[in-house]
Amino acid sequence: MKIRELAGFLLLSILVLFIQGCTKEPRDATDPEKEGFNFMVTEAQRQFINESRGERYHITDPVPELHFAGGIYAIDRFEIRGDNTVNFERKGFGINMGRNILLHNPLEQAERKYEEFKLLAMVYDYTYIENSTAAGLLREVGLWPVYSFFTEVKLNGHTQGLYHFIEDPVEYFIEQRQATFVVRRGYDHVVKSFFMNPDSWQNEEKYYNLLDKIYSVLPEYSGRQLYDTLSYYIDMEQYFTKLSIDLLIKNGDYTDEIFFYSTIRDGREILGVFPWDYDDIFAGQPHEIGNDWATGTVFGTREYFSMDDIVADVGSKLLYSIEDDLDYKIARDSMIYQQYLKTLRTVIEKIDAAAIDKVFDYTYDHINPFYSNDSIVKQSRFDVDETDYNLFVTNLSEKRQMLKDRRIWIVQELDKQQNRLK
């Protein structure tokens, strides 16, 4: 009997040891905001990156490698990117990893591997709070599903300053959301860039032309017929939500800063909405004033030299910009504008004073630590505006109050306009 008990005990002990051996050892998750991204390049490459102006290009021969959190990562593609940041010493980067990088995403409460991401230099972002403000507000209304955070970027161990890491939206929607395609809108609704899921190339022409169909119906229909037709192609609730946030934060430049991705609604494939590149918020006036090249041409040539010109054309509407023809039609069509106001009220009720405080508190908590590093702050001398800690906290306080005041104004105007339309 004792022999049997001993044998059983030994068997149980071996089983326990086996299970323990198969269990993954716990480890601390990497905090990328504390680690930083250090890219190893040749000295000639580093000089060219900092000194070149006005062009996008890939760094090759050799392709840089990434040193991050004690690991060394091969890179497949290292791109100098951005429409305007290529004119500055601090460049924006687009990275395609050779070996995916594992990061802890606190919003998902999980770790995930990332293959493609952007590192935005934020050279136009005064005190570096604007991208954070926009992303936080968009996250509150469900329009910012990608992982983003702030981090230091280095070349050969030498700081390039503070950057905004953003998970590549194209990869996110195709890989994580199984989108058939992703398209970026340009001025006058041209296709600025187009990406397909590799499994769907046989339908490329069909999807490539989908954006154009939205604009082809704008002059043909009005009212309920137009709204239903647009809803057949695009998630209008998402689009209205984006316009609502743009109104609140006074986004001065967004015609070509938007991605559309295929998604399923009610069993039908339509365009979902993803806003992009918020480096021109808290603007003094919409982008179309004095820029006749930027307005759409579906309804002919439109020129505006002041806000009075805009009011004379569409009336006093709660839209920050009518540069794009779709936004222009929303402003002029009474029925569609009423639908937009309903969404605007939903958004502005969700973005209350507490939500604004939440976004600005997050911005302070996540950007403030970088201001204690003089070498990072000094890199702002290469931006449009140089910054320091006092400017950071002052701007944060002023913009926090500005958004609260603007929200109150929007609610008052909403009450007036919706009551007038009843």
Domain positions in the chain are 32-171, 172-350
pLDDT at 24 over 60: no
Using the Cα atoms of residue 176, residue 181, residue 186 and residue 192 in order, give the sign of their dihedral: positive
pLDDT digit string (tens) for 286-302? 999 999 999 999 999 99
Q: Which structure tokens are listed for 387? A: 């910054």
Q: Quick one: which H or E segment has residue 171? A: helix 169-171
pLDDT at 202 over 80: no
- Residue 422: per-residue pLDDT: 60
Residue 6 is predicted with a pLDDT of 41
Assign 83 a pLDDT band (cuts: 50, 70, 90).
Answer: confident
Cα angle, residue 177 at apex, residues 171 and 178 outer, rounded to 5°: 85
Contacts of 133 (CB under 8 A, 6+ apart): 249, 278, 281, 359, 360, 363, 399, 403
Helix (H) or strand (E) holding 38: strand 37-40
Strand partners, 116: 96
Q: Are 153 and 64 in contact (CB under 8 A)?
A: no
Residue 24 DSSP class: P
The alpha carbon dihedral of 413, 396, 137, 165 has a sign of positive
**Residue 108 binned pLDDT confidence (cut-offs 50, 70, 90):** confident
pLDDT for residue 269 is more than 60: yes
Average pLDDT value for residue range 403-413: 98
The predicted-structure confidence for 185-198, as pLDDT tens digits, reads as follows 999 999 999 999 98
Q: Which residues pair with 181 in a beta bridge?
A: 196
Q: Which two tokens stand for residue 136?
A: 């936080």
What percent of the chain stands above pLDDT 90? Answer: 82
- Judge whether residue 387 has pLDDT over 70: yes
Q: Of 348, 389, 360, which is closest to residue 247 (Cα–Cα)?
A: 348
CB 391 within 8 A of CB 127: yes
Is residue 392's pLDDT more than 80?
A: yes
What count of other Cβ atoms lies within 10 Å of the Cβ of residue 411?
A: 15
pLDDT of residue 280: 87
Tokens of 373: 């590093």
CA–CA separation, 422 and 418 (whole Å): 6
pLDDT bucket at 253, cuts 50 / 70 / 90: confident
Torsions phi, psi of 83, nearest 5?
-75, -40
Average pLDDT over residues 400-414: 98
Q: Is 390 exposed, middle or buried (0-12, 13-18, 19+ CB in 10 A)?
A: exposed
Is 380:387 a contact under the CB 8 Å cutoff? yes
Residue 281, strand partner residues: none
* pLDDT at residue 29 in the model: 52
Arithmetic mean of pLDDT over the chain: 91
Angle subtended by helix axes 236-249 and 223-233, to nearest 10: 100
Average pLDDT over residues 81-91: 92
* 258 DSSP β-pair partners: 275
Higher pLDDT, 405 or 200: 405
- The values of phi and psi at residue 45, to 5°, are -65, -45
User: 44 pLDDT exceeds 70?
Assistant: yes
